Structures are given as C-alpha cells and as structure tokens.
Amino acid sequence: MSSLRDLYQELVLDHGQRPRNKRPIHDCSHEKGCTHREGYNPLCGDKLTLYVKSDGETLDDLCFEGDGCAIFTASSSMLTEVLKGKSVAEVKEILGEFLEMLTNGEAEPDPEGLGKLAVFGGVKDFPARVKCATLPWRALEAILASQSDDEGTTAGAVDSNDDQID
C-alpha cells in the first residue's frame, strides 16, 4: 500500500481545505453559453454540480458546488483552476489523460502532460477513492459530450460507477 502522503499530497490537502472556484453560476443556461451537470458518488452519497462557461472554443469559466471528501474537493477545485482558459481540444486531452491515469490499471501515468494534476496519481492505489477524484471529471466529460452533440444544458446526472480498477 502506498502511504497516505502519496494520496494526500500537500496540494491536495490545500485545495481540499481551501477549494478555488467553489460557487454556483445562478443563471446558467444554454443561451448564456453555460452548461452544468451533476455528478453523484453512490459509494458515499456525495454530489457535485459542475458549471462550465464556453463559447464552444475555449472554456472561459469553470466552477463547482458540492461537499465531499478532501480528494473530491481538491480534484474539483484543481480541475476548475487548471482548465480555465484552455481550448476545448486541450481540455479533452487532459481529461483523457487524467481518467487514464486513474482508471487504467496498467498505464504508467504521464505526469508531464498533466502538470500539477499529477498529484492525483497516488489515488490509483486506493481503489475505494478513485471515484472521489474522477467525479468532477466525469461531469466535465458529460458536458463536453453534450456540447459536441450541441444539446446545450442537459438534465440528468453522471455517476462514476465505471471507475473501478479490478
């Protein structure tokens, strides 16, 4: 077992305790270029709502609401911070790498591409906590998918049920 320090690195503790961009966007609607999506972790009952403002090219603003564990909070916070201002293409790449790092049992994480998000690499060794880290990313994935479908704001929630390392 990896040590708890690998799981709760300084950055995680910091963002877990003082999350950035933890606020709602009240008038989030398709017309205003805003999409939001709920995420739910059935293992613990924690919920989040992720808000993304985008012109279809760049993610101009990201923020979230919801209370959960330190890993969930840190992951949500760092997601919003790191991705703000990035292009949709860049975001998709980071998203893919992040999920790969946490859910592919074999893959060697490639911390270079992920920058400071690589602090979540240690979560893989704590299978019960993988969903905590992936939850906001699954919500983001759903938002991006709905935008390529050009559906705009979508109802429904995602759960990160699939994020299991066997």
Partner 1 sequence: MDPLKDVADCRDLEFLRQNGARADFPLLQNEDLVFLDSGASAQKPQVVLDALTDFYRTGYANIHRGVYRLSQQATELYEGARGKIQRFLGAAESSEIVFVRGATEGLNLLAHSFVRPRVQPGDEILITQMEHHSNIVPWQMLGQETGAVLKYVPLTGTGELDLAALPELLTDRTRVLAVTHVSNALGTINPVAEIIRLAREKGVPVIVDGAQAVPHLAVDVQALDCDFYVFSGHKLYGPTGIGAVYGKAEHWRAMPPWQGGGDMILSVTMEQTTYAEPPACFEAGTPDIAGAIGLGAAIDYVQGLGLANITAYEQELLAAGTEILGAVPGLRVIGTAADKAAVFSFVLEGVHPHDVGTFLDGDNIAVRTGHHCAQPIMDYFGIPATTRASLGVYNTAADLEALAESLLRIRKFFRV
Residues from 106 through 145 that contact ligand FES (CB under 6 A): 132, 135
* Contact status: 56 vs partner 1 (CB under 8 A): no
Query: Which of 69, 82, 88, 95 touches ligand FES (CB under 6 A)?
Result: 69
> Which token pair is 140?
């983001």
Residue 40 lies near ligand FES (rule: CB under 6 A): no
| DSSP symbols for 10-64 | HHHHHHHHS-SSB---TT--GGGTEEEEEEEETTTTEEEEEEEEE-SSBEEEEEE
Letters for 135-154 (x = contact with partner 1 by CB under 8 A, - = none) are --------------------
Q: Characterize the bridge pairing of strands 59-65 and 46-54.
A: antiparallel
Does 124 bind partner 1 (CB under 8 A)? Our answer is no
Query: Both tokens of residue 156?
Result: 């429904």
**Cβ pair 125, 92 in contact under 8 A:** no
Nearer to partner 1 (CB atom), residue 16 or residue 34 = 16
d(CA 160, CA 2): 23
Q: Work out whether 72 is an interface residue with ligand FES (CB under 6 A).
A: yes
- The binding site for partner 1 (CB under 8 A) comprises 1, 3-4, 7-8, 13, 17, 40, 42-46, 67-72, 126-129, 132, 159, 161, 166
